[in-house]
Amino acid sequence: MQRDGHIRLLPLHVANKIAAGEVVERPASVLKELLENALDAGATRIDITVVAGGRNLVSVRDNGCGMTRDDALLSLERQATSKIRDVDDIEHIDTLGFRGEAIPSIAAVSRFTLVTRRADDESGTRLVVNAGTLAEVADCGAPPGTCVEVRDLFCNVPARRKFLRAFATEEGHIRSVFTVHALAHPDIGFSLTLDGRETYRFAPGATLEERIRDLFGAPFAESLVPVANPPDGNGSSVSIHGYIERPDASALLRHDQFTFVNGRPSTAPVISYAIREACPRARAEARPATILFIDLPPEQVDVNVHPAKREVRFRRPADVREALISAISTALTTPNAPQDSTDLDAPTAPQAPSDPTAPQVPTDLKSPAPTPTPFTIPFATPPLPIQQSLPRQPSQSLPSPQADSQPLASNPPEGAALQSTPTPLWRWFTILAETATGYLLLETDRGIVTLNPRAARERIAFERLLARRTAISQPLLLPETVHLPPSDSARIRTFLAELEAMGFAIEEFGRDVWKLDAVPDLAAGLAAQDLLATIAADIAEAGAKRGGTRWRDELVARSLARSYAGANVKLTREGASKLVEELAATSQPYICPRGKPIMIFTANSELSRKFDN
């Protein structure tokens, strides 16, 4: 590359390719721009066709207002738009596409065809552009509206085409764009056809609740509670409506949060902050699913901050923050949305006994009484000997902790083999009690241990699954069907071989509907909806950082272990002892498959130091 220091004007075709890179990142970007144009044209019906993840074809047909021949030709020019007239209009943007860059940018890097007709015109107009060069302008017969076909994307930019991802990945981005626009406009009819198969068809005139049910299924729709501005309001011009996931710990499996500002799919840092602040701490960390619409006067929001308009800036962010926090807090504290701020990794807390002063030595962690008695040695007169709680058990040679009085956990590299060299640590252990929050307290010859039974079961199930040479399936008495969101279905679809290897008998039973005929025996009795949603959530969190099948097997095993550990298992005194013994036989008894601590160890020497003995 020669550099002589002189400044020159770039040739038009080079400038067009550079400008196209700002608008067209991948086939999903093309779909987004074409959908915005169709919506701004007043369409009530939009049909989308995609072939090969958008590499070969992205087609959008609408029944909007259409264009004349002059307007169609002018749409190929840069900075040509019908949405704004002068600089003052930029302060009052109420349309989706307004820059006039989408059509010329797309046409510059594809084989582009546009057919359009206004309802009052006798004939339509057909334009054909090959990689930025206008090749054909002709009259044609066409229904009212506009149809745009984009073929061979990046045909003249091989470097960009080479960096496109696999068909399934690009198709996933296509589905995501389709989903957010179908959510944002439930009153408009949409259809999506992928590789000749109609994947979605939504009738116009639907409500938001109906559109959510059509996209994500009835179970997900039933897990939502409505969000709206409080009745008294706060005097601002910000309006909030939508839905948030009901605060049930068993439903905290999704990560999708949809926010729309004046009908535009977009977000801002203040929105994420407000959702975290409005939710209970454990809920905020779990990223509850949200579908929220924020409406305010156009002059109070700047939609021109991000090149792809994904992020907006508010003139008065405090008003937006307060309105969101108030609306979400009100929704989550209504009688039909009980609060649940329990730590997601903590076991279910048993209820306290009705008379905490009465001496009780339960023979079982479960009590047949209506109010279960926790496995706790209460203070009494005379005090009960600790040794009566459970006989001392020989140790299973647990590995030594890293440091006293610290959680015995570290985050191992994803996909790494979890191995350790056991060294004797405990000669014996005694189970002292179960706390009111469900943790086990153990005394050992070296110190005191606080153990999370749920995380322990998770580790045990995880290693049992990985150690199996052949899967053990448990046939279901009746097949179960599970309706998943499009993104979750796409993730499950890529992991079918691994799921079958783990013992699932699963097949696609329709549009984003899965039929389960068998599950691994460890997962028998678990809700199929929660099981698949957990696996899909873990797949989304891990991403495709490594190749091969080993990390995929571990990912599915970790997800299944997580679901298994969340089952409502009641511990008996003997069961608690057996749980500790089985945990001791694992390779990593201190770390659950998700890298969180199973137990916290406090050495006798540390206790003596803290009590100044």
Residue 466, classed as helix, strand or coil, is: helix
Q: Which residues contact 567 (CB under 8 A, 6 or more apart)?
A: 525, 526
Q: Residue 24: exposed, middle, or buried by beta-carbon count in 10 A (0-12, 13-18, 19+)?
A: buried
Instruction: Report in angstroms the alpha-carbon separations of 260 from 240, 265, 296, 376.
Output: 10, 4, 11, 50
CB 522 within 8 A of CB 473: no
Q: Which residues contact 463 (CB under 8 A, 6 or more apart)?
A: 418, 586, 587
- Chunked into runs of 10 residues, the chain (613 residues) has average pLDDT values of 61 63 82 91 95 94 92 79 48 52 86 94 94 92 95 88 86 92 95 92 94 87 85 67 76 69 87 84 64 89 69 86 89 60 46 40 39 34 33 48 35 34 62 87 89 90 81 87 86 87 88 89 80 83 57 77 73 86 87 86 87 78
Q: How far apart are CA 305 and CA 423, in angstroms?
A: 58
Taking only Cα atoms into account, the Rg of the chain, rounded to an integer number of angstroms, comes to 30
Q: Residue 281: exposed, middle, or buried by beta-carbon count in 10 A (0-12, 13-18, 19+)?
A: exposed
CATH 3.30.565.10 fits 12-202, yes or no: yes
- The per-residue pLDDT for range 103-146, each reduced to its tens digit, is 888 998 999 999 999 999 999 999 999 988 899 999 999 999 99
CB 501 within 8 A of CB 471: yes
- The per-residue pLDDT for range 503-549, each reduced to its tens digit, is 899 999 888 889 999 988 878 777 888 888 888 888 877 665 554 45
Helix (H) or strand (E) holding 255: none
Q: How far apart are CA 282 and CA 452, in angstroms?
A: 17
CA angle (76, 81, 83) in 5-degree steps: 155
Residue 454, classed as helix, strand or coil, is: helix
DSSP 203: -
Residue boundaries of the structural domains of the chain: 12-202, 223-332, 463-565
Helix (H) or strand (E) holding 113: strand 111-117
Q: How far apart are CA 528 and CA 519, in angstroms?
A: 9
Residue 148, classed as helix, strand or coil, is: strand
Q: How far apart are CA 328 and CA 218, in angstroms?
A: 22
Closest CA to 171 of 149, 200, 148: 200
Q: How far apart are CA 496 and CA 515, in angstroms?
A: 12
Q: Which fold has domain 463-565?
A: Ribosomal Protein S8; Chain: A, domain 1 (3.30.1370)
Q: Residue 170: exposed, middle, or buried by beta-carbon count in 10 A (0-12, 13-18, 19+)?
A: buried
Say what the pLDDT of residue 189 is: 96
Instruction: Report in angstroms the alpha-carbon separations of 94 from 35, 299, 304, 525, 593.
Output: 16, 9, 12, 51, 48
Q: Which one of 3.40.630.10, 3.10.20.90, 3.30.230.10, 3.40.50.150 gives the CATH number of domain 223-332?
A: 3.30.230.10
- Which structure tokens are listed for 135? 């090749």
Q: How far apart are CA 450 and CA 346, in angstroms?
A: 12
Say what the pLDDT of residue 343 is: 46
Q: How far apart are CA 575 and CA 226, in angstroms?
A: 42
Place of tokens 């307060």: 322
Burial 392-426 (b: 16+ CB within 10 A, else e): ebebbebbebeeebebbbeeeeebeeeeeeeeebb
Instruction: Report in angstroms the alpha-carbon separations of 500 from 497, 505, 532, 553.
Output: 5, 6, 13, 11
Neighbours of 303 (CB within 10 A): 20
Phi, psi of 292 (to 5 degrees): -120, 135
Q: Which residues contact 495 (CB under 8 A, 6 or more apart)?
A: 535, 539, 552, 555, 556
Rounded to two decimals, the pTM is: 0.66
